Structure formats: structure tokens, C-alpha cells
Amino acid sequence: MIVRDRLNPTARDLPKSGIRKFFDLANTMEGVISLGVGEPDFDTPWHIRAEAIYAIEKGYTFYTGNMGLIELREAICDYQRRRFGLEFDASQVLMTSGASEGIDLVFRAILEPGDEVILVSPTYVAYSPLVTLAGGVPVFLDAKEETGFKVTKEMLEEAITDKTKMLFLNYPGNPTGGVMTKEDYAELVPLIKEHELFVVYDEIYAELTYEGKHCSIASFDEIKDQVILMSGFSKAYAMTGWRMGYLIAHPDVIHAFLMIHQYAQMCPSTISQYAALEAAKNGDDDIEMMAKQFMMRRNFIVNGLNRIGLKCHMPKGAFYVFPSIAATGMTSEQFCEELLKDQKVAVVPGNAFGSAGEGYVRISYAYSIDEIKEALARMEAFLRNKGYLK
């Protein structure tokens, strides 16, 4: 048997993540300093880890209900009310194994073959392949640095066709750090309502909003049945390895998610759910401490990049900067490969996030100031060696 020929071609032929491709190369080299990974360098706060240990000691090692622990779903409703002023019922909350499971579920439960999903490019790497896998068609809106990588009414209007079923938003955004305000969303809401679109709102970086307060598109009552809120514990609480995320939506939508989740996942890790319960109830101070640190690092790296000649806007959220490398005349892949070879610094080529990311690189500042300082010094040396800095 020719094994390759017997596989589902859609899955087999999905592109390898542009991030992974690059880091496979970096992993073969010694002494590399990497600002590539989107994961907080902080340890999960101790009181959260302690709750997981108690959960094991108490023998909470069985499956939970498919929706997840009721006390956790209630704690998430309290959290959404306390932090963002949003009202939900626990019956609208489905616990998932990371936001990642949520991304897969929304496409599989909602899309029919040929349905179009509007994605904002540069875009987080998982969305487009998972749309394709679910039989949908990704349609990209190219967001621009000049407008803060936001979606405008005009852009959305142009992209909507009679096949559009979903608009997928991620603010604060990976990889750009872009943020949208209440006024920005207000412009989109009438179109979303008129065309009966589902809006999936990935707000995993909501707590990492550095200017003003985070605003969720779920705060618009007129489209509340159409919004699917997606979030998780990975970024705000430094809990990437715990794999805890959640979806909040209209009960009928949650029911469709549950029909897949009950067979494909059953429930996320019970022990992680107890840790998340502690985080949702008592983690506000931790979030704020880490967000302060990230903001300080953001200011440091943006100033540093502009000083060494890489033009970099000030992102308003998340923990990524997205400087332009246009001045070097290189493609983003060339830039990253040369930088890695010349100075052993690993950053991610902007084109890994779609064609609108060409001409940029993504640098994560979820690293210590010492690592950022060292990386900046090496990048400066690289630009000098190449003759881009006098």
C-alpha cells in the first residue's frame, strides 16, 4: 500500500506552520537566543499550582461532566462580570482543552462545505488551516499598520458575499498586538447583524491590554446571539501547559459544540480545571502583576528596535511586536534566516501569518529584559554587518 495515497489529502497537504518550520532550523543550532514563542516566561502562580496538587491529593482524578465543572463555569461568569461587565449564564460556558480546541470546534460545528470565513491578516496561524479542514473557505482581509491593524466597515463590506458565514476576530491580536475600541466595533455591528454572521471573538489576550480598557464585541446586545466568545488561561495566568480554554455562546450554539466535544474530547483535564477555578476566583493580582511586566518589556523593546533602525509601532496589547523590515530590502524569511545564521537570534517571519505579514517580523517579548537586551544587541550587530546601520 502507498500509505500517503490512502490519507485524507486535505489533512495531509495542510501547510506546516511557518513558526514551526523556522524553529526546527533554530533547534539544530547551539547558542540561539529565541524571541519566537508566544508563551509567558513566568511560572504559573503558586496558589494555582497548589490547588492542582490538592485536587490530586483529594482524588479528583475522574472525568468531569462534558461541559466542565459547574463551579468553574460559574467562576468564569463572575470573572467576565467583574473584569469586563458582561453577563452570562454558566449554561453558556463550555470548557475546552485550550482555546485551541475551541478554534477547531467553532469551525467544525458551524461551517458547511463552501462557507466563507473572514479572517484578518496578519492572522494567528491556526485559524486558516482549521477552516480548510472543516470544509470552509478562508477569506483574508488585509489589515494595515497605518490603521492599527483594525478591521474597518469598508473592509468588511467589501469582503462579505452570500457565502460568508463567519467573521473571526482576535484583539488584542497575535501577531500584531492590534486592539479595537468600542467605537471601532460599533461600525461593524450593523453589517454583522444585517448579514446574520457569526462572530468568533478570540480574546485570549484580553488581559494584556495596555492602553484603555479591553472591549469585547460581546458587549453589543443587538448581536449577542451571534457572538462566540473564545478565551482561556494560557496567556493571562501563565498556564500554557495546563490546556484550559473556554467558549461562551448562545445555548443552541453551545449545544452544537457539545455534540462534537462529548465524543472528541469528553472533558478537559480535571486537575487543570481545579487549577483554573483557583485562577478565575483569586488570580486578578497575578494577572495585573504580569501585565505590568509585559508593558515594561514592550516599551523597552519598541524603543530598542526603533533605535537600531527597525521601524516599530507601539502595539496596544498581547506580547508581540511587529517591526517593519522594509528598510533592509529583504523578504521576511530572508531576514529571519540571515539573522539566525549571522547572530543566532530567532524571530518569526511575518509571512508565517499570511501575505499581509510580508515585510515584517514577529518578536515575542514574553522573555526577560536580559534576553531582550542581548537579542537587541545581536540584531544591531546584524544590521551593522549588513550595512543597514551606520
Ligand X SMILES: Cc1ncc(COP(=O)(O)O)c(C=O)c1O
Cα separation of 251 and 73, whole Å? 14
Cα separation of 22 and 29, whole Å? 12
Which of 121, 132, 209, 240 is in the footprint of ligand X by CB under 6 A?
240
Using CB under 6 A as the binding rule, whether residue 357 contacts ligand X is answered as no
Using CB under 6 A as the binding rule, whether residue 204 contacts ligand X is answered as yes
Alpha-carbon distances, residue 128 vs 48, 133, 138, 188, 229 (angstroms): 33, 9, 6, 22, 18
DSSP 293-362: HHHHHHHHHHHHHHHTT-------BTTEE--B-GGGT--HHHHHHHHHHHH-EE-EEGGGG-GGGTTBEE
Contact positions with ligand X (CB under 6 A) in 115-144:
124
Which of 202, 207, 278, 286 is in the footprint of ligand X by CB under 6 A?
202
φ, ψ for residue 174 (rounded to 5)?
A: -105, 120
Which of 32, 54, 60, 100 is in the footprint of ligand X by CB under 6 A?
100
C-beta separation of 267 from 64 below 8 A: yes
Residue nearest to ligand X as judged by C-beta position:
98
Only segment of 26-34, 96-104, 183-191, 217-225 that touches ligand X (CB under 6 A) = 96-104
C-beta separation of 382 from 338 below 8 A: yes
Question: Please, which residue, 348 or 383, has the CB nearer to ligand X?
Answer: 348
Question: Shortest approach of ligand X to residue 205 CB, angstroms?
Answer: 7
Cα separation of 7 and 13, whole Å? 10
Using CB under 6 A as the binding rule, whether residue 34 contacts ligand X is answered as no
Question: Please, which residue, 120 or 336, has the CB nearer to ligand X?
Answer: 120
| Site track for ligand X across 48-87, x = CB under 6 A | ----------------------------------------
Neighbour order of strands in the sheet with 320-321: 320-321, 361-364, 348-349
Using CB under 6 A as the binding rule, whether residue 94 contacts ligand X is answered as no
Which of 80, 121, 174, 176 is in the footprint of ligand X by CB under 6 A?
174
Cα separation of 86 and 83, whole Å? 8
Question: Shortest approach of ligand X to residue 309 CB, angstroms?
Answer: 28
Q: Could you list the residues that contact ligand X (CB under 6 A)? A: 38, 98-100, 124, 170, 174, 202, 204, 232, 234, 240, 245
